[in-house]
Amino acid sequence: MSLPTQDLNLSANMSPAEERFERLRKRLGWYLAPMVLVVLWFIPFPGLSVPARHLFAIVGMALTLWMTEAIPLAATALLAPSLCVLAGLGSAREVFKPFSDPVIFLFMGSFMMGEAMLKHGLNRRFAFTLLAMPWVGASPTRLYAAFAGITAVISMWVSNAATTAMMLPIGLSILAELGARQGMTHYQATPFAAGLMLITAFAASVGGLATPIGTPPNLIGIGAIERLLGYKITFFQWMGLGLPIALVLTGFLVWRFSRHCPMPAVSLSTNHHWLETERAKLGSWTRGQLNVVGVFLGAVALWILPGLIAALDHRGSSSPAYLWIGAHAPESIIGLLAASAMFFLPTNSQRDSFTLEWRDAAAIDWGTILLFAGGMCLGELMFSTGLAHWIGSGLAALFQSHSVVGLTLLFTGVGILVSETTTNTASATMVVPIAIAVAQAAGIDPLKPALATCLGCSMGFLLPVSTAPNAMAYGTGCIPLKAMMRHGLWLDAVGWVVIVGTVLLLGPSLPPKP
């Protein structure tokens, strides 16, 4: 979804110095990545086997390409496992096995459901219905709260980029309306305009923390924990951690922007008529919208059901009902069944029109799926070759951290820092397996450090290139770079504290081995 009348091309809103830096960064990757590959390939690191050393070289090259974006991220995710096969680190069937991991199919199902919501305009109906409520126009703080809340809730189920693309035009329309009523031709240059755009982008990323399907790093962390630790995190369990974090951070965003990006004196209640008009344009509920809502609510109910059974049954995860659902209706299958159902449900029987068609499904973010799968390939090889253990032992010795609290603090911060320079998906792919390896090398329970690291990788709010929502909001031309960095730094810092505190207090621990 694109923003009408707004140029979302990031380079179009960059200063000449920023454009030169972006070109230099990508050009540097072209030359630096092969150099890293060759140098690491031949350095005889003490305690590192030859296969692990060769994998280290390939991982180093992949990290360089991911951070510089010299080639598309998904292309790097395909190149790196291919080089692993070429280097003899495993057969093609073994190396590319993670491409068929159930989490991949959960990705596909959730992305298709999100695409169906966008196709039938459920997002706009939801947004305008809430924004048109009379209490929203009572003050700028309530407008911030409404925008942040709506964006965060939608982002729990739809990708943060799609959510941002849907909410930004609504925000820009409100700004234009306010500017017209104030007689201002450049209302988008005001602090309130920057605040409204930033709170939209930031809330889209924060809301994704609440559910496993809210943002790709969540699924990456869940998949890595299940593969490497043998511990299954349920949908209900994740929400028990992610939802409180999302609520606290959304509240912080409302407080901060209300305080630091105030709106000039104006009665927002005058916009109520405009919002009601926009909502009226949506018309009555369509057959497609009803189909999507029914399928979506059914999928969410089935995703939450195992956790509810475990919580209500005294036998917990040993309950026969819990075990049956886990064996016959895992989360990935529910996602696929829900997406498949929408291909069957008609919206117009006479025209053979259905709720979801393949041309709609083909538009989902397949690149992110490939990036995720390629990262999983490298993560599994890091453990099978001993590279992860070697890195973990080295980091544990370097930071002298041998406690759950210390490693949770350390790797949450590492995840946030890495996410500033590369995508959240790529950072989670890189950092979560290392956090697990460091904890194992230190002889402590790795579950809490891994969970906190995964959540930390969804932070990263300093720069336009840190997340897709940041780039899209910056592309509106309303946000000075310094403002994004200043507010983003505060959100990163508060997010670090909230994530670490929540995971340490509420996070699960690995059961003792029999």
pLDDT digits (tens, 9 = 90+) for 292-303: 889 988 887 887
233 secondary structure, DSSP code? P
Helix, strand, or coil here: 353? strand
Q: What is the pLDDT of residues 47-66, one digit of tens each?
A: 889 999 999 999 899 888 88
Nearest Cα to 151, choosing from 245, 236, 254, 244?
254
**Sole residue written with tokens 């959960």:** 106
Answer whether 249's CB lies under 8 Å from 214's CB.
no
For the segment 437-441, the average pLDDT, to the nearest whole number, is 83
As a whole number of angstroms, the distance between CA 484 and CA 475 comes to 12
For the cut 80, the answer to whether the pLDDT of residue 328 exceeds it is: yes
Angle, helix 216-229 to helix 447-456, in steps of 10 degrees: 160
Reading the block at residue 178, the tokens are: 């306010």
The average confidence (pLDDT) of the chain is 80
pLDDT at 88: 93
Between 26-40, 173-187, 369-383, 447-461, the lowest mean confidence (pLDDT) is in 173-187
pLDDT at 11: 43
| Burial bucket for residue 44 (CB in 10 Å: 0-12, 13-18, 19+) | exposed
**Sole residue written with tokens 């150099």:** 35
* Kind of pairing between the strands at 353-354 and 346-348: antiparallel
Answer whether 478's CB lies under 8 Å from 193's CB.
yes
For the cut 80, the answer to whether the pLDDT of residue 320 exceeds it is: yes
pLDDT at 8: 34
Reading the block at residue 289, the tokens are: 């919208």
For the segment 127-132, the average pLDDT, to the nearest whole number, is 66
Q: How far is CA 170 from the centre of its chain?
A: 22
Helix, strand, or coil here: 346? strand
pLDDT at 435: 87
Q: Residue type for 156, please?
A: M
**Sole residue written with tokens 């059961």:** 511
pLDDT at 61: 93
For the segment 344-364, the average pLDDT, to the nearest whole number, is 84
Q: Which residue has the higher pLDDT, 17 or 460?
A: 460
For the cut 80, the answer to whether the pLDDT of residue 268 exceeds it is: no
For the cut 50, the answer to whether the pLDDT of residue 401 exceeds it is: yes
For the segment 120-144, the average pLDDT, to the nearest whole number, is 71
Q: Which residue has the higher pLDDT, 509 or 60?
A: 60
As a whole number of angstroms, the distance between CA 35 and CA 29 comes to 10
pLDDT band, very low/low/confident/very high, at 178 (cuts 50, 70, 90) = low
| Burial bucket for residue 9 (CB in 10 Å: 0-12, 13-18, 19+) | exposed
Q: Which residue has the higher pLDDT, 412 or 327?
A: 412
Reading the block at residue 199, the tokens are: 């709170």
Q: What is the pLDDT of residues 61-105, one digit of tens each?
A: 988 888 787 888 789 889 999 999 999 999 999 999 888 887 788
Reading the block at residue 492, the tokens are: 């990163």
Residues in CB range of 388: below 8 A, 6 or more apart: 379, 382, 433, 434, 436, 437
| Burial bucket for residue 295 (CB in 10 Å: 0-12, 13-18, 19+) | buried
pLDDT band, very low/low/confident/very high, at 172 (cuts 50, 70, 90) = confident
Reading the block at residue 394, the tokens are: 């080295």
**Sole residue written with tokens 């110095």:** 17
Answer whether 375's CB lies under 8 Å from 457's CB.
no
Answer whether 147's CB lies under 8 Å from 206's CB.
no
For the segment 139-161, the average pLDDT, to the nearest whole number, is 81
Reading the block at residue 447, the tokens are: 């579950």
Q: Which residue has the higher pLDDT, 325 or 488?
A: 488
Tally of CB atoms within 10 A around 441: 20
pLDDT at 6: 33
Alpha helices in 230-286 (DSSP H): 235-260, 272-281
Q: How far is CA 3 from the centre of its chain?
A: 21
pLDDT band, very low/low/confident/very high, at 187 (cuts 50, 70, 90) = low
As a whole number of angstroms, the distance between CA 175 and CA 197 comes to 10
For the cut 50, the answer to whether the pLDDT of residue 10 exceeds it is: no
Q: Residue type for 64, please?
A: T
pLDDT band, very low/low/confident/very high, at 387 (cuts 50, 70, 90) = confident
Tally of residues, the chain? 514
For the cut 70, the answer to whether the pLDDT of residue 436 exceeds it is: yes
Residues in CB range of 392: below 8 A, 6 or more apart: 434, 436, 437, 438, 439, 440, 441, 442
For the segment 439-462, the average pLDDT, to the nearest whole number, is 87
Q: Which of left, alpha, beta for 512 (phi over 0: left; psi -120 to 50: alpha)?
A: beta
Nearest Cα to 468, choosing from 252, 163, 246, 247?
163
Kindly report the pTM of this predicted structure: 0.67
For the cut 50, the answer to whether the pLDDT of residue 1 exceeds it is: no
pLDDT at 12: 42
Domain extents in the chain: 1-95, 102-361
Break the chain down into helix, strand, coil percent, rounded to 5: 75, 0, 25
Reading the block at residue 410, the tokens are: 């350390």
pLDDT at 266: 53
